[in-house]
C-alpha cells in the first residue's frame, strides 16, 4: 500500500513538473517566433518606406516593366527574325511600302487641285486626264528617286503601283469587266507612259520649248493655249527644283509632296 501511494505520488509529481515545462516551452517559442516575424516585418517596412513615399507608383511600374521586358524582348526579337526570314526588310519590300505613299500623293493630284487642272489649264474631267496628271507626277518622283540608293528598284515599284491602280480603276470604278478590253487599254497606257517619260526627260535636260512640246503632246493631247502650256512649264520646273533641294531623309520620309498630304493606305479603289 505504501509503495502504491509512493508510486502514485511520484507519477503525479512528474506530471505536474512536465505540464508547466511543456506549456512554458510552447509559449516561449511561439512568442519568440511572433516577435521575430513582427521585427522582420517592421524592419522591411521601415527600409522600403522612403522609396514608397517618394514615388508610390514606382514599385508597381517597376514590377510591370521587369515582368514585361523579357516578353517584349522575346516577342520583338522573334517578330524581327520572322520579318527577316519572310523578306520584310528586303530592298524590294521596303521600296514597295515606301513608294505606295508616294503613289497615293500622285494619284490624288486631280482631286486635290481640280480648279487648277480643270479651270486654269482647261483639261477635261475624264480618265485620260487623271492618267496624264498622275503620270506627270510619277515622272517627277522618278527623277528624284534616281539619285537614291537602289533607285531602279524604287522606280519600278512606283510604276507597279501606278499600273495596278489603273487596272483596278477600270475594273471597279468604270465597271469594265472584259479582260480583252482591259488588256488593250493597258497596252495603250504603257506606250503612253514610256513615250511620256522620254519626252519629259528630254524637256528637263534641254530648254522650256522642248518641255512645252512634251506637255502639249502628253498632257494637253495636242490642245491648250500657249498661256496654259507656259503655266504648266513653270509648274514642272518649280516642282523639280523643290524635290532637288530635299535631302534624302526628308524625301524618303515625306508625307506631303506637291502640296498634297498622303492619305491613309487604301485598298481597291471604288470598293
Is the CB of residue 96 less than 8 Å from the CB of residue 131?
no
d(Cα 169, Cα 128) in Å, to the nearest integer? 12
d(Cα 253, Cα 240) in Å, to the nearest integer? 18
CA angle 142, 148, 152 (to 5 degrees): 55
260: number of Cβ within 10 Å:
18
DSSP 55: -
Q: What are the tens digits of pLDDT across the range 190-220?
A: 999 999 999 999 999 999 999 999 999 999 9
Q: What are the tens digits of pLDDT across the range 149-191?
A: 888 999 999 999 999 999 999 999 999 999 999 999 999 999 9
Residues counted in the chain: 271
Task: Give residue 53's pLDDT band: very low, low, confident or very high (50, 70, 90).
Answer: very low
d(Cα 120, Cα 58) in Å, to the nearest integer? 63
Question: Over the chain, what is the mean pLDDT?
Answer: 76
d(Cα 78, Cα 84) in Å, to the nearest integer? 10
3-state secondary structure of 127: helix
pLDDT of 7 > 80? The answer is: no
Report the pLDDT value the prediction gives residue 203, as an integer from 0 to 100: 97
Q: Which helix (H) or strand (E) holds 190?
A: helix 179-205
Report the pLDDT value the prediction gives residue 52, as an integer from 0 to 100: 42
pLDDT of 263 > 80? The answer is: no
d(Cα 32, Cα 30) in Å, to the nearest integer? 5
d(Cα 163, Cα 130) in Å, to the nearest integer? 13
Distances, alpha carbon 189 to alpha carbons 53, 126, 196, 217, in Å: 72, 14, 10, 14
Amino acid at each position: 500500500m505504501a509503495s502504491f501511494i509512493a508510486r502514485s505520488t511520484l507519477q503525479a509529481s512528474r506530471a505536474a513538473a512536465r505540464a508547466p515545462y511543456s506549456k512554458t516551452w510552447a509559449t516561449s517559442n511561439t512568442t519568440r517566433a511572433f516577435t521575430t516575424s513582427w521585427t522582420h516585418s517592421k524592419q522591411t517596412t521601415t527600409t522600403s518606406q522612403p522609396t514608397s513615399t517618394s514615388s508610390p507608383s514606382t514599385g508597381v511600374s517597376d514590377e510591370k516593366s521587369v515582368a514585361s521586358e523579357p516578353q517584349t524582348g522575346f516577342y520583338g526579337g522573334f517578330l524581327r527574325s520572322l520579318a527577316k526570314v519572310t523578306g520584310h526588310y528586303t530592298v524590294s519590300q521596303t521600296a514597295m511600302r515606301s513608294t505606295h505613299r508616294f503613289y497615293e500623293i500622285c494619284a490624288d493630284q486631280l482631286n486635290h487641285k481640280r480648279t487648277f487642272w480643270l479651270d486654269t489649264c482647261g483639261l477635261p474631267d475624264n480618265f485620260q486626264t487623271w492618267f496624264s496628271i498622275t503620270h506627270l507626277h510619277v515622272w517627277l518622283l522618278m527623277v528624284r528617286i534616281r539619285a537614291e540608293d537602289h533607285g531602279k528598284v524604287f522606280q519600278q515599284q512606283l510604276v507597279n503601283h501606278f499600273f495596278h491602280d489603273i487596272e483596278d480603276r477600270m475594273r471597279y470604278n468604270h465597271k469594265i469587266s472584259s479582260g480583252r478590253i482591259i488588256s488593250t487599254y493597258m497596252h495603250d497606257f504603257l506606250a503612253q507612259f514610256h513615250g511620256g517619260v522620254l519626252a519629259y526627260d528630254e524637256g528637263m535636260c534641254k530648254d522650256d520649248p522642248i518641255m512645252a512640246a512634251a506637255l502639249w503632246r502628253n498632257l494637253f493631247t495636242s490642245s491648250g493655249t500657249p498661256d496654259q502650256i507656259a503655266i504648266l512649264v513653270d509648274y514642272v520646273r518649280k516642282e523639280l527644283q523643290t524635290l532637288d533641294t530635299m535631302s534624302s531623309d526628308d524625301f524618303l520620309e515625306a508625307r506631303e509632296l506637291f502640296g498634297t498630304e498622303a492619305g491613309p493606305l487604301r485598298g481597291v479603289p471604288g470598293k
